Amino acid sequence: MGEEKSTISAKQSKGRVIFIAVGLLTLLLLFSFIAYKRLRLDTFISCVGLIVSLYGLVVTIWQLLLIRSSAELTEKAIINTSERIETILSVSDVSKAVALSRQVIENLSDKKYELARFRLCEVKDVLVKVLCVPSIVCDEKEIKRTVQHIEVHISSLDKQVNNISEINLVTIGQDIEKMVKLLVSIETNLRINTNG
Amino acid sequence: MDEKEALIQELIKQTEDGKLEWTHSSSENEYALELSSALFTISYEFCPDYAAFCYIVNMHNGTGAPIEIVREVARTEDTCQSNLLYRLFIDARESCVKENKTIREALSELKNL
């Protein structure tokens, strides 16, 4: 961001120097020409007018090009910033999901199945969100697979809450541990990207 | 034969050929099969709507709630020939627990002593 700002201001100051130099050079050439040809006053005025108009046109075109490149640089800077913000937000979301997953394990061992279900839904939301952020580099297949497993566990918790069938704590516990590992690796990658 | 029935028959065929590996799900009496396109579960559970035990095949494709493929009421006279879902459930359980395979292997090991 700071680098792009300095590029824009360097271009502007360079432009100013060239503008003044070319202006002085033109005036010098104009006066030399007038002195050499000994022109009449009306011809002299129209010559000056023509040169000033052409000079103005060139400067305008040049300024327009400069503004366009500044706009492009600003747009790039905005995209970079929004990607960075997305990554920072995702790091906090993934950290939250890790904490939530651990709470799910606690809730399961305390037989608080409704709470566990609610938290598992939140973890699933985070993973779905991670899939939707293009700036996050992660194993998409593995995340999709984990989301499918979470769906099965949510459905199992539903059955447990509604007394339809008992939950298998060993299977769900092992799966959540795997999920925590995946989340931690995503979090680490995100942190590396943010700091890098 | 509709697509769902074709899917169930293919699952039975591939499971019996040993090409598919079912695993325990997080619910009792439920087995899961992971394919790259989706995750399938087959369960045997009480359905309040039917006031009876049913076999249910669900599909989880990661887009939201599970999609129920098919549900059949379990009957006492169920056999492998009469009820596709019963057959799939038995095959999935065998694929996961390997009860019959282990018994056969143990038997042949004992006979060879």
Q: What is the pLDDT of residues A138-188, one digit of tens each?
A: 778 888 888 889 999 999 999 899 888 889 888 899 889 988 998 888 888
Quick check: B46 pLDDT over 70?
yes
Give the one of A128, A141, A156 whose C-beta lies nearest to B27's C-beta: A156
Quick check: B50 pLDDT over 60?
yes
Q: Do B58 and A156 touch (CB under 8 A)?
A: no
Q: Is A148 on the interface with B (CB under 8 A)?
A: yes
Q: Do A149 and B39 touch (CB under 8 A)?
A: yes
Q: Give the pairing type, strands B52-60 and B67-73.
A: antiparallel
Q: Do B41 and A152 touch (CB under 8 A)?
A: yes
The pLDDT value recorded for residue B109 is 93
Give dist(CA A63, CA B4) in Å, integer: 67
What residues of B are in the A interface, CB distance below 8 Å? 24-30, 32, 34, 36, 38-39, 41, 43, 45-46, 48, 58, 60-62, 64-66
Residue B68 bridge partners (DSSP): B58
Q: How far is A171 from chain B (nearest CA, A)?
A: 5
Q: Is A174 on the interface with B (CB under 8 A)?
A: no
Mean pLDDT calculated for residue range A81-107: 83
**pTM of the entire structure?**
0.68
ipTM score of complex: 0.80
B19-45: per-residue pLDDT in tens?
999 999 988 889 999 988 889 999 998
pLDDT, chain B, mean: 87
Query: Do you know the residue count of chain A?
Result: 196
Mutation site, A127, A160, A171, interface B, largest B CB count within 10 A:
A171
Report the range out of A20-24, A32-36, A85-89, B88-92 with the highest average pLDDT.
B88-92
The pLDDT value recorded for residue B43 is 92
Q: Do A148 and B27 touch (CB under 8 A)?
A: no
Q: How far is B110 from chain A (nearest CA, A)?
A: 32
Quick check: A193 pLDDT over 90?
no
B86-107: per-residue pLDDT in tens?
999 999 999 998 888 899 999 9
Q: How far is B108 from chain A (nearest CA, A)?
A: 32
Give the one of A151, A164, A171 whose C-beta lies nearest to B46's C-beta: A164
Q: Do A152 and B25 touch (CB under 8 A)?
A: yes
